[in-house]
Structure formats: structure tokens, C-alpha cells
């Protein structure tokens, strides 16, 4: 049982022949993933989808896209729920997790058609149970050292990875970034100790976000090397021969600490090399924070 590198084509192939599928997404736009889920439901597979809604998503496009996806899936025979639609359930869903005939698939983006995300396959029994609890009950077992399904726990795991790292090998990528979380505090500590980690953030989330810019400027002044990219929304950290990957942004973790967000740590060589290659390619084309 292990955590291994997978891909969108492999996941779509698994969905096309699966009999039991559960999937969670912050936003589920049209295209291959939605087509595969609708086709699976139409041929008689059990398909259950959980989507973000309410005040956990901004009004406008995301809400409309998820409503459209829900309507199409229900018409095909799938069961669709919106996070927090039942009393006492967690209303904040940001995790991108799926169970396909007993295997878990974990995406750090939104099941997109681009090559800008990383998908893992997870067969570890404790992780499968946690993913199932998160998707079916908006809850998760107590996180292990290497896997979590809550944002605060996921970011604590990322910070723990950074704590044991040093030198130029320390690299972090996040769609958005902010104060008030364990990753920020760990980067401050590294910079104060003479380490100059690299941090890559998304231009889209930075635009117009004064609080995020302030956090990044403070880290840059402390010695963190910060660049901005238009190419990616991935969330991962690289340390000493190991990596953390997840759906959780390194942003404030106190607003919704129980938000459904996965995070996993691994020393699998293929996963670490894949993330390192992604980071170095984007870093070389990114612009210095100005």
C-alpha cells in the first residue's frame, strides 16, 4: 500500500470502468472530468459528487459553474450534494479528492484539463478511511503524521516538512499566501536562521490582495526569495529529499480551520522529482515580486 504519482488520463480511465465513485471539488467545470462522471452515472455506476457552495465560494462564476455541473450530473443519475447543505456538516470544502472503486485520487488543483496540476493515487488504508469520512460525512479521522483532511492540520504537516529542511532545496509553491498560518511562521524562522527559501505564488490571487502582498513583502525583506507566476495554482513544498503536496493554500488557517483540505507528505522519489521539475521550470520563467 502506497502513495504514488498518477495523472488525469489514468484517473479518467479508472472512472470509465468503475462501479463506485465519490468525488469532491471546490469547482467542477465542464470538460473531461464532468463528462466522465456523467457517463459513469448514465451507464449505472454509483456516482456521488460533493461541491463547494455558500459563503465558502465567491458569488458569481464558481457558484454558477457548480450549479450547472450539479444539474448535468443529476440528469445523468448521479447524487450531488453541496457542502454544508445538511445541519451540523462542514460548510467549507476546498479539497479535491476522489474514491474510485476503493482507491483514492488526490489533486492539488481542481481536476483541470491543463498540465498544471499533480494527481496522486493513495492506497493506504488509513488515508482511504479519512478520505471516505471527509467525502461522506464532512469529517476525518485524526490526521497521521503524513496525511490530513483539514486545512489547519494539512498546513501543520507542511510546516513540519520545512522545519527539517535547509539550503536551496527548500522551495514552496502556493496559489495564495498569507499571515496567520504555520507555513508562514516556519518561513520566517528559516529566513532568520540564514536560510533563503524560495516561494512561488500565483499572480491571479495576488492581484488586488493588499494583505497577501504585505505578507510576501515582509518575507522578502527577511530574506525569502519570492517570485510570481501566471502558470500555476499548485500547492506543495520541497525539503530534504521529501515533499508535501495538498489542496490547502498557505493562507490564514484560523478563518475556517476545519475546512476540508487534504495534505500529504512523502519521500517517494518519482513524486519529489515531478514536483521539483515543476517548480524549477516555473521558477525560471517567474518574475521577482515587485
Cα separation of 182 and 250, whole Å? Answer: 8
Cα separation of 251 and 184, whole Å? Answer: 8
Distances, alpha carbon 170 to alpha carbons 135, 152, 280, in Å: 32, 21, 12
Q: Which helix or strand (DSSP H or E) is residue 62 part of?
A: helix 61-76
Query: In this structure, are residues 221 and 186 in contact, taking their beta carbons and an 8 Å threshold?
Result: no
Q: Which pLDDT tens digit goes with each residue over 17-46?
A: 999 999 999 999 877 999 999 999 999 999
Cα separation of 203 and 230, whole Å? Answer: 5
CA atoms within 13 A on the CB side of 196: 6
Query: In this structure, are residues 182 and 188 in contact, taking their beta carbons and an 8 Å threshold?
Result: no
In the predicted structure, residue 90 carries a pLDDT above the cut 70: no
Cα separation of 180 and 184, whole Å? Answer: 7
Q: Which pLDDT tens digit goes with each residue over 44-81?
A: 999 999 998 765 566 668 888 999 999 999 999 999 99
pTM: 0.93
Q: Which domains does the chain possess?
A: 3-137 (3.30.870.10), 147-288 (3.30.870.10)
Amino acid at each position: 500500500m502506497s502513495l504514488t504519482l498518477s495523472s488525469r488520463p489514468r484517473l479518467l480511465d479508472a472512472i470509465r470502468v468503475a462501479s463506485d465513485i465519490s468525488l469532491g471539488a471546490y469547482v467542477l467545470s465542464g470538460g473531461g472530468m464532468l463528462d466522465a462522471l456523467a457517463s459513469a452515472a448514465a451507464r449505472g455506476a454509483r456516482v456521488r459528487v460533493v461541491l463547494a457552495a455558500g459563503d465558502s465560494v465567491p458569488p458569481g462564476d464558481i457558484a454558477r459553474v457548480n450549479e450547472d455541473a450539479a444539474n448535468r450530473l443529476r440528469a445523468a443519475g448521479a447524487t450531488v450534494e453541496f457542502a454544508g447543505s445538511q445541519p451540523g456538516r462542514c460548510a467549507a470544502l476546498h479539497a479535491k479528492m476522489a474514491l474510485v472503486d476503493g482507491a483514492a485520487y488526490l489533486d492539488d488543483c481542481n481536476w483541470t484539463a491543463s498540465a498544471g496540476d499533480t494527481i496522486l493515487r493513495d492506497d493506504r488504508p488509513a488515508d482511504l478511511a479519512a478520505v471516505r469520512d471527509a467525502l461522506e460525512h464532512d469529517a476525518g479521522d485524526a490526521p497521521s503524521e503524513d496525511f490530513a483532511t483539514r486545512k489547519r492540520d494539512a498546513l501543520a504537516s507542511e510546516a513540519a516538512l520545512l522545519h527539517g529542511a535547509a539550503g536551496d532545496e527548500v522551495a514552496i509553491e502556493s496559489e495564495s499566501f498569507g499571515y496567520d498560518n504555520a507555513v508562514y511562521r516556519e518561513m520566517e524562522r528559516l529566513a532568520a536562521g540564514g536560510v533563503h527559501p524560495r516561494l512561488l505564488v500565483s499572480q491571479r490571487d495576488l492581484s488586488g490582495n493588499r494583505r497577501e502582498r504585505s505578507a510576501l513583502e515582509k518575507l522578502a525583506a527577511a530574506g525569502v526569495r519570492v517570485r510570481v507566476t501566471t502558470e500555476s495554482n499548485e500547492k506543495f513544498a520541497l525539503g530534504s529529499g521529501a515533499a508535501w503536496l495538498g489542496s490547502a493554500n498557505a493562507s490564514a488557517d484560523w478563518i475556517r480551520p476545519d475546512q476540508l483540505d487534504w495534505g500529504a507528505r512523502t519521500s517517494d522519489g518519482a513524486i519529489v522529482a515531478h514536483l521539483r521539475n515543476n517548480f524549477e521550470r516555473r521558477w525560471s520563467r517567474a518574475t521577482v515580486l515587485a
